[in-house]
Amino acid sequence: MKLSVIAKALSAKHYGPDMDMPNIAIDSRKITGGELFIALHGENFDGHDFIESALKQGAKAVIAAKEPQTALEKSVTFLVVKDTTQALGALGAFWRDRFALATVGITGSCGKTTVKGMMESICQQQGKTLATKGNFNNHIGLPLTLLRLDETYQYAVIEMGASGAGEIQYLGKIAKPNVTLITNVMPAHLLGFGSLEGVAKAKGEIYEILPEEGVAVLNVDEKFSDQWRKLIRDRKVITFGLKNPADVFAKNIELLPFEVRFDLYLGNAHQTVTIGIPGQHTVMNALACAAAGLALGISLSNIVKGLETFQGVPGRLRRLKGMNGAWIIDDSYNANPGSMHAALDVLAGCQGKKLFVMGDMAELGDDAQRYHEQIGESAKQKGIESLFAVGKLSQHAVKAFGKGAKSYSDKNVLVDELKRQLTDQTIVLVKGSRSSGMEVVTHALAYHED
Dump pLDDT digits (tens) for 287-325.
999 999 999 999 999 999 999 999 988 898 999 999 999
Q: Are 119 and 292 in contact (CB under 8 A)?
A: yes
Instruction: Tell whether 279 is in a known binding site.
Output: no
Tell me the pLDDT band of 189, cut-offs 50, 70 and 90. Answer: low
Confidence tier at 377 by pLDDT (50, 70, 90): very high
pLDDT (average), residues 267-271: 96
442 has binding-site annotation: no
111 marked as binding residue: yes
Strand locations in 323-383, DSSP E? 327-331, 353-359
| List of E strands, 242-334 | 248-256, 259-266, 269-275, 318-321, 327-331
The domain locations on the chain are 3-82, 99-309, 318-445
pLDDT tens sequence across 337-372: 999 999 999 999 999 999 999 999 998 999 999 999
pTM of the model: 0.87
346: Cβ–Cβ under 8 A, 6 or more apart, which residues? 278, 279, 317, 329, 429
Residue 363: φ, ψ to 5°: 60, 40
Domain 318-445 in CATH 4.10.520.10? The answer is no
Q: Quote the pLDDT of residue 448.
A: 81
- 301 assigned binding-site residue: no
Amino acid in the structure at residue 435: S
Q: Name the CATH topology of 3-82.
A: 3.40.1390
The mean per-residue pLDDT over the stretch 195-216 comes to: 95
Q: Percent of the chain having pLDDT more than 90? A: 90
Is 161 in contact with 112 (CB distance < 8 Å)? yes
Separation between Cα atoms, residue 173 and residue 244, nearest integer Å:
31
Report the candidate in 35, 314, 26, 48 with the shortest Cα–Cα distance to residue 143. 26
- When comparing pLDDT for 86 and 199, which is higher? 86
30 is in an annotated binding site: no
Which of 134, 291, 312 minimizes the C-alpha distance to 225?
291
CA distances 40 to 50, 66, 312, 407, Å, are 10, 12, 33, 40
Known binder of ligand: residue 109? yes
Q: What is the CATH number of domain 99-309?
A: 3.40.1190.10
Considering just the CA atoms, what is the radius of gyration of the chain in Å? 24
Residues 6+ apart with CB under 8 A from 281: 110, 111, 339, 342
pLDDT reported for residue 193: 82
Mean pLDDT of the chain: 95
* pLDDT tens column, 392-449: 999 999 999 999 999 999 999 999 999 999 999 999 999 999 999 999 999 999 988 7
Q: Are strands 36-38 and 61-64 parallel, antiparallel or unpaired?
A: parallel
Residue with the bigger pLDDT between 24 and 134: it is 24
User: Which residues 6+ apart lie within 8 Å of 366 measured at CB?
Assistant: none
- Which band of pLDDT confidence, cut at 50, 70 and 90, is reported for residue 258? confident
Per-residue confidence (pLDDT) for residue 184, from 0 to 100:
94
Q: What is the pLDDT of residue 450?
A: 57
Q: In what order do the strands lie in the sheet with 179-182?
A: 129-131, 155-159, 102-107, 179-182, 215-219, 236-240, 248-256, 259-266, 269-275
* Reported confidence tier of residue 190, pLDDT bands at 50, 70, 90: confident
Q: Is 77 annotated as a binding residue?
A: no
pLDDT of residue 329: 96
pLDDT tens readout for residues 129-154: 999 998 899 999 999 999 999 999 99
For residues 96 and 290, what is the distance between their CA atoms, to the nearest angstrom? Answer: 25
